[in-house]
Amino acid sequence: MTHEELRGQAGAYVLGALDAADRDEFEAHLPGCVECRADVRSLNRVTEALACAAASREPSPRLRARVVAGSAAPRPFPVSRTVLPWFLAAAASLALAVTAPYTFRLRDETRQLAATLRDLTAQLRDRDRQLVAVRSEVSLLAAPDVRRVDLRGQPAAPGAGARAFWSRTRGVYFVASNLPPVAADKAYQLWFVTTAGPVSASVFTPDERGSAEVVAGINPGMAAPTAMAVTLEPAGGVPAPTGNMYLVGAVAQE
C-alpha cells in the first residue's frame, strides 16, 4: 500500500478493525512515518471518547464491595469470568498458607531424593562395567583354545606367583599375588616372549596387598609364544623389556 492508502487506514487501526495482514503492514509502516503516528495519536482520542460515550449508567453498590474485597488481599487470585466464587479464592489462599511449610519440606526431600538417585545411577553404571568385564573373562575361560600358564616368582620377588589364561581369539586373563609394591614412577609390564621376541600384553600396578588382575586383548597374528614374563619398568611401559624380571612361566608347546 502507498503511504496515502495506509494513512487512510489509521481510523480502522485505532478501532482495532484492521484485518491481520493490513494491521501488520500498517504497524510496520508506523515507526517510520511521523504523519501516521500523529494520526494514530489524535484518532486514539476518538476511541477514548467512544469508550466514554456509552450512556452513563450506575453499577449496583454490590459491585464496589466486590471490587474492594478483591483488592483487599495483597495477592489477588484470578476471578472466574462468570459468577463470583470468592469462597473458592479464600479456600485456595487458606490452603496455600497451610501447605507452605510442607511445600518447603517437600522441596528438601525432593532435592535429597535427586542426590540419592544420582549416586545409585553412578553405582549401577559401575556394576554394568564390572558385569561386562566378568562376562568377557568367562567367555575367555570357556574359549576352546584357552591355555593356562603358571608364572613363578623370581629372585626379585620370591614369594610372588601368577596364573594366566590366554586365547588367541579372546585375549588374556592374568591374576598375580604377593608382588612387591612399586614406586610411583614404576609399573609392572606383562610380556609374551615369542619366537619373534617379547610382545607387551599389558602394563599394571598391584593393589596394596600385592595382588593384580589384568584383562587384555592379544594380536591374533602374534608369533608363537614360548613364555610369559613380568618385568619392572618405568610407569607407562616400554616397547621392549629393560628391567628386572619378577615372574616367569613357560608356555607349553602345542
Residue span binding other proteins (CB under 8 A) among the ranges 4-12, 125-133, 166-174, 203-211: 4-12
Q: Measured from the CB of residue 93, what is the shortest distance to other proteins in angstroms?
A: 14
Beta bridge partners of 167: 171
Residue with Cβ nearer other proteins (59 or 144)? 59
Q: Does position 6 bind other proteins by CB under 8 A? A: no
Distance from the first to the final alpha carbon of the chain? 95
Residue with Cβ nearer other proteins (70 or 237)? 70
Residue span binding other proteins (CB under 8 A) among the ranges 27-35, 105-113, 120-128, 186-194: 27-35
Q: Does position 50 bind other proteins by CB under 8 A? A: yes
Q: How many CB atoms lie within 10 A of CB 87?
A: 8
Q: Does position 25 bind other proteins by CB under 8 A? A: no
Q: How many CB atoms lie within 10 A of CB 183?
A: 8
Q: Does residue 239 sit in helix, strand or coil? A: coil
CA distance 198 to 13: 90
Q: Does position 31 bind other proteins by CB under 8 A? A: yes
Give Cα separations from 152 to 94, 131, 229 (angstroms): 80, 30, 9
Give Cα separations from 22 to 2, 17, 61, 68, 125 (angstroms): 12, 10, 43, 41, 60
CA distance 14 to 27: 11
Residue 1, C-beta contacts closer than 8 angstroms, at least 6 positions apart: 9, 25, 29
Among 4, 49, 97, 208, contact with other proteins (rule: CB under 8 A): 49
Residue with Cβ nearer other proteins (62 or 107)? 62
- Enter the DSSP assignment of 244: -
Residue with Cβ nearer other proteins (12 or 146)? 12
Residue span binding other proteins (CB under 8 A) among the ranges 41-49, 143-151, 214-222, 231-239: 41-49
Among 1, 28, 47, 236, contact with other proteins (rule: CB under 8 A): 47
Among 2, 32, 81, 254, contact with other proteins (rule: CB under 8 A): 81
Q: Does position 40 bind other proteins by CB under 8 A? A: yes
Q: How many CB atoms lie within 10 A of CB 29?
A: 17
Q: With contacts defined by CB under 8 A, how many residues of the chain interact with other proteins?
A: 60
Sign of torsion over alpha carbons 175, 178, 182, 186: negative
Give contact residues for other proteins (rule: CB under 8 A). 8-20, 22-23, 27, 30-31, 37-38, 40-60, 62-64, 66-68, 70-76, 78-79, 81-84
